[in-house]
Structure 1
Amino acid sequence: MKKEVINIRVSSTFKADLGILADLKDISISDLGREALNMYFNTTDFGEPEIRDTIEEKPNKDSDELLQSLAFTELIFWIYDKRLNPEMNEIDEYYDQHVALIDEMNNHSRFTSEILIEFNKIKSELKGECDGYDHRSGIFLFSQKNNPNSFNYDKLSYFMYGIRYTENQVKDLFIK
């Protein structure tokens, strides 16, 4: 799909604030803007029923494909598996696949900033572990409850249960 460019004017203070937030989320200002616009677009009542109905009927194919992919399913199962068995016992290529998928998730509107913070905890650890660390000698820390940067499994459960519905409880993701 071809991407279009939208230019907007903001104050220098607001731009600086956007830069700080983007740095904290480890994404570009453009990605942050897309995320904000997608969130606004997906949560705004556009008033006139014919406009609202037209917008609500439009499929979000890219996001749906990602959520229905084998790679996403593998990532979710792997995260829960690490809760039970945090040992590093997979090949680097498997970890690299998870990092690439989390990068892709950071650019999709269905993933809230709250859940992306959790997935990015895993990404940070995987990137650190993928760069020359011997995976067979340790455990993943994100799965440990006593770790201050531990993954919040409750947020993942809440996200997974709620992903099929909008804030107005309208089902808008249909799993094949």
Structure 2
Amino acid sequence: MKSTLLSVRISSDLRQKLEEQSDLENRSISKVARDILEHEFNTTFQPEHSFDVEVIGEYSDNSIEELLTSFRFAEFMFWLQQVRYSPDKNRHNQYYIQFSKTIDDICCTNLFPQTIVDDLHKVKKELIYCIDFKLYTFSFPKNYDGFDYNLLNDFMDNIRYDVNGNDQLNIF
């Protein structure tokens, strides 16, 4: 496909961010801006990484409980809540790789409702974008209608407590 030249007026702050990202990646500002635009409009962006987990059989109740009571699951849930209120909080890509793998594990359990799984897949896509472009600040795409935190919180309460308010997960 033939490319065309586009001139755009941007703020000095945005220019500085592009320059910093360009320096981090050792790539031209033009290439960084093009990749960001392609990602935003989902045209030709193809992530370099894939973290799919091969699942053999179903997760057992014990392995689901192990996942739900694991430190990495808790760390992911805390981070997910954190980006809700502080999206500019920086993280190292190693966190994003681990979060991506945790999302795969969550989705493989067949425990979470499909709406939450769909939202988690969108989060994973953004994480892979951050990994591939060595971005340390995660943010939901502007055209994304938002993660349903209320649904996630209600669901987590339902798996944590029974109808009488008693613990269902043995975390202590």
TM-score w.r.t. structure 2 length? 0.57
Q: Structure 1 segments of 4 or more deviating over 4 A?
A: 169-172
Matched, 1:99 2:100: yes
* Residues 114 and 165 (structure 1), Cα distance of their counterparts in 2 relative to 1, 3 Å cut: farther
Alignment of 1:12-161 (within 5 A): 60-87=61-88, 89-135=90-136, 139-141=138-140, 147-161=143-157
* Residues 166 and 90 (structure 1), Cα distance of their counterparts in 2 relative to 1, 3 Å cut: same
Are the aligned partners of 1:164 and 1:173 in contact in 2 as well (CA < 8 Å)? yes
* Residues 76 and 60 (structure 1), Cα distance of their counterparts in 2 relative to 1, 3 Å cut: same
Matching residue's letter, 1:174: N
Superposition deviation, residue 88 in structure 1: 5.1
Structure 2: gaps (5+ residues): 1-51
TM-score w.r.t. structure 1 length? 0.56
What is the match of residue 162 of structure 1?
A: 158
| CA RMSD, Structure 1 to Structure 2 (Å) | 3.3
- Give the count of matched residue pairs: 120
Are the aligned partners of 1:110 and 1:163 in contact in 2 as well (CA < 8 Å)? no
Are the aligned partners of 2:69 and 2:169 in contact in 1 as well (CA < 8 Å)? no
Superposition deviation, residue 114 in structure 1: 2.2
Superposition deviation, residue 109 in structure 1: 3.0
Question: What is the aligned-residue identity percentage?
Answer: 29
Structure 1: gaps (5+ residues): 1-26, 39-58
Superposition deviation, residue 122 in structure 1: 0.9
* Residues 60 and 166 (structure 1), Cα distance of their counterparts in 2 relative to 1, 3 Å cut: farther
Are the aligned partners of 1:102 and 1:120 in contact in 2 as well (CA < 8 Å)? yes
Are the aligned partners of 2:160 and 2:169 in contact in 1 as well (CA < 8 Å)? yes
Q: Deviations over 1:57-103 (max 9, x none)?
A: xx810000000000010111101111111015111000000000101
